[in-house]
Chain A
Amino acid sequence: MFNPENLIRKGLPKGHFKDLVVRFVLAGLTYVVVLIAALLFAKIIMDGAPVLFKAKAPFVDFEFLTAKNETLHVFDDAQGNRHQLPASRYNDYLAKYEGAPIFNEQTYSYSGGGIAGPIVGTALLTIGSMVLALFFGVAAAIYLSEYAKQSPFIHAIRLAILNLAGIPSIVFGLFGFSVFVLAVPVITPTPSDRSLLTIPLHINHYVMSFQGWNSSLMAGCATLACMILPVIITASEESLRAVPQGFRDASLAMGATRWQTIRKCVLPFSLPGILTSSLLAITRVAGETAPIMFTAAVAAKDDLPWQGLKSPFDILSSQVQALPYHIYTLAARIPSSEYTRRAQYGSVFVFLLLVASLSVGSMILRAKLRSKLKW
């Protein structure tokens, strides 16, 4: 048995013993964290990986990735075989074996087919919000670090931006709902009844109507962009400031204007840093549920995102499914059973894989760019 006195008798100084205890406690706490992470990943991988990966070629269940999400029908046929079919194929089955008896039929919402809708929805939300956030964020960062004089007002702005980063995402969701979904102006000939304010434009009966964008991809992207702006601005400012002042001096002293200097001597050298930091922000955007649940996401959608559109721009004003919200729906809105596990763990596994690959990708990119860009 471990007796601390033995250590002392062996001649270890007292301080040494304390040191050992501290060391063991700290190591133990560290391993608890690792254990939690390991359990989490093990559970998801053990239950989720078999959904996506198959023992037989082509080894990946592409249908799960490319089919749309449907209700799952579980039933027995006359021979006692159990069938699990998504709604569309269930209807095919009924049409094919017309009049054949069906027994023990059960339906499970959202559990059949694949998750192409949520995957594409999340991709669109991520791309859209990153484009918006980078545009506004880099512009703001350039102004703050290159143009603005360091006055108390600018310090206040910086503080406000940092505070913005600490706001819970559900608050951003509600903000997006009240602003982008309900209040932002649109230009339309037919304003909605609940428009807050209409301003006639006197062009073919068009009016500017403050009625919001409804729950839509556009509103979701804007909300996510707001949430991620502080991260982008702070990271961009840091990257801009990492460019040596000497480059700016040299450029200005040669008769470059300030904007020429920024464009040719500052931005090119800070862009890699801005982009890699932004890639880390992507994982956050892709993973958030709260900001999109009121502004863009739907639990179920009959069409895949690109189907049933009159013009490509219609996608901006349509609602989308999104992976995190889909997982929330699968976990909280439907009763769990052996038939829902495939959809549940499969979605989580795919989601985890996506976010992990984004993280790893950004880390590799960062390491590569750092080694390439030194001064």
Chain B
Amino acid sequence: MIERLNPSSKDISIAVKDLDFSYGSSPVLKNIQLDIPENGVTSFIGPSGCGKSTLLRCINRMNDEIPSARITRGDIEIGGVNIYDSSVDVVKLRRDVGMVFQKSNPFPRSIYENVAYGLRLRGERDKAVLDQSVEQALHSAALWDEVKDRLQESALGLSGGQQQRLCIARAIAVKPRVVLMDEPCSALDPIATAKVEELIWDLKHAYTFVIVTHNMQQASRVSDKTAFFYMGEVIEFSDTSRMFSNPRFRKTEEYITGRFG
């Protein structure tokens, strides 16, 4: 699918280059440098208001929807293509870079229609193709066994954890290459959280995951690399195992050990 971004490359690593970002006149991100590898899980950690969600929303240009938001310097490349280039169609970009939100937001329609939504957007009308894609996406999100007998029932009848996994199924049904997750488990209980984490673990060979989380244990459990944000800057970006065992900076250590944040 990334062919839409760069026909010559299968590379889906994300490179954030010298990025400055502000809402109106107040700067939110300062000089962000990140090389997020493909097919892995990268987590963003940091105290509230440090800009990690903002950066996440920059990666699929959801910040375009906010009138005062703008990038003042630098750019983001996915597979070598500058996604803020005027030739990039934001609609196509978002098909490659899916997003799961903090608050699960299934549409008040049937489970089936929720998952089929993105495919229908692209004009897919073949019932067999839709059925197969819906089943596959639900399998991937580890939800199929729980909902296979009630696909036509309202998605709002599902539990909170199931709703969030449904949103993940909905996001991956359109076969993106990158999945951005903004605190996907913050509203879920530990069992539902474990299921979502397991799902990320199972899918990471096929997708590039970027996860914003407030849960230090979660970052250490699921991610390969971790970026620590503080006051709009990336303080430390390294392998998760290394950051949690041997942080390079004192600020990182203080945050990880819960001394602030």
Contact = CB atoms under 8 A, between A and B. Distances in A.
Contact of A255 (B65, B105, B121, B170): B121
Contact of B171 (A150, A254, A260): A254
B117 A251 contact: yes
Contact of B170 (A244, A250, A269, A374): A250
A260 B91 CA distance: 11
Taking residues whose C-beta sits less than 8 angstroms from the other chain, chain A's interface range is 20 to 34
A2 interface: no
A255 B156 contact: no
A375 B156 contact: yes
Contacts, number: 62
Contacts of A149: 67
Given A374-B108, A375-B156, A252 B121 contact: no
Interface residues of B, number: 25
Interface in B69-123: 91-95, 98-99, 101, 103, 105, 107-108, 117-118, 121-122
B60 interface: yes
A149 B24 CA distance: 14
A182 B73 CA distance: 58
A276 B9 CA distance: 53
Contacts of B167: 250
B157 to A, nearest CB: 11
Given A252-B62, A255-B91, A255-B94, A260 B67 contact: no
Contacts of A256: 91, 118, 121
Contacts of B32: none
Nearest to B94: A255
B141 interface: no
* Smallest CB-CB A-B distances: 5 pairs: A246-B105, A255-B95, A253-B99, A255-B94, A254-B118
14 contacts: A149-B67, A246-B103, A247-B105, A250-B101, A252-B62, A252-B65, A253-B94, A254-B121, A255-B91, A255-B94, A255-B95, A255-B121, A260-B121, A374-B156
Interface of A: 149-150, 244, 246-247, 249-257, 260, 264-265, 269, 373-375
